[in-house]
Amino acid sequence: MSDAQKSGDVPSRLAKPLMVGNHVIANRVFCAPMSGVSDFPFRARALAHGAGLAVAEMTVASRVGEGTSRDTLRRAFPDGSVRIIQLAGRDPAMMAEAARFCEAEGAEIIDINFGCPAKKVTGGLAGSALMREPDLAARLVEAVVSAVRVPVTAKMRLGWEAGAHNAPAIARLAVAAGAQMITVHGRTRCQFYQGAADWSAVAAVRDAVCVPLVVNGDIVTAADAERALALSGADAVMVGRGGYGQPWAAGMIARAAGAARDADRPPLTRPALADYVIAHHQDMLTLYGIGQGIRHARKHLGWYIDRHAPHTPPELRTALLTTHAPQEAALLIWQVFHDAQALAEAA
């Protein structure tokens, strides 16, 4: 990346719009679907900060239409954003029915999960387990494409294990079945999140398909994004765990590329950060209710501390992550993040 691109004077390819079916995505820096993480408050913040697209948390196809509050919340989206829903399953008819339901509910893009490495998902022979069944993966795409009028996309890993990188073949089958965008995380399922993402290996998928390609894995900074593009030949990048404790990460990359000039700026001062975390925490309590919201928010609070207030005394961290009282949580958040600079200087 040139100095001009770093300063935002010359837009990089990431700042350009991307067509996915009939949808114009404002820029090419996306927020990944992360179960238990990229919920409505997180996605709303990622989009407000300038992410071009934010994919909803994975929803298991068999649960779609049941009306449970948790799965309904997974599919909520901020007004004005492209509504992209990710589905997981292995039964073509069930996936098709779930996709029809989501389309009727307002989904504008349906993403199919061939990449989740979690044992509870692969144990049901879904997610990245489907990379061991290319023909079934292709039938799933075909069934969903036939069921809906909106664009269908797919997210996968390099393969199941080392020496079995079949993402190019599965991507080719998916595109032949009608998929209009492919996202590849540069690890195998057996790696989970160990080692470094292999962006170069994603280049084989670029050679296999002509639809938009998104590279994912270990992208945290603008420099990471530009290097991932260069090595993979992808058209866009997706930020996943790099957004832990900083929902603005994708937007910051988009801003560095020359996009998202009207986006919300990240909270760069201590009072702003304290207020930001308090607001995020409150939004989660509002969405889930106090009891469930406090439980869901703890992981986010821990990531905010790890990233922005690592010198927080253990007893203060414990107090924040164990309190059940919203008002006490707000006071502790203010104490942790407003005083973080002083703690860092004293360390």
Catalytic residue list: 116
- The two tokens of residue 200 are 């170069």
Torsion sign, CA atoms 114, 115, 118, 123:
positive
Cα 317–Cα 307–Cα 49 angle in degrees, nearest 5? 120
Q: For residues 98 and 86, is the Cβ–Cβ distance under 8 A?
A: no
Three-state DSSP state, 277: helix
Please, where are the H alpha helices in the chain? 3-7, 40-48, 69-74, 92-105, 119-122, 134-147, 167-176, 203-208, 222-232, 249-257, 270-288, 290-308, 314-322, 326-338, 340-346
- The two tokens of residue 171 are 């991507």
Residues sharing a CB contact under 8 Å with residue 8, sequence separation 6 or more, in sequence order: 255, 256, 257, 258
- Calpha distance 46→79 (Å, rounded): 13
- Calpha distance 56→44 (Å, rounded): 11
Three-state DSSP state, 255: helix
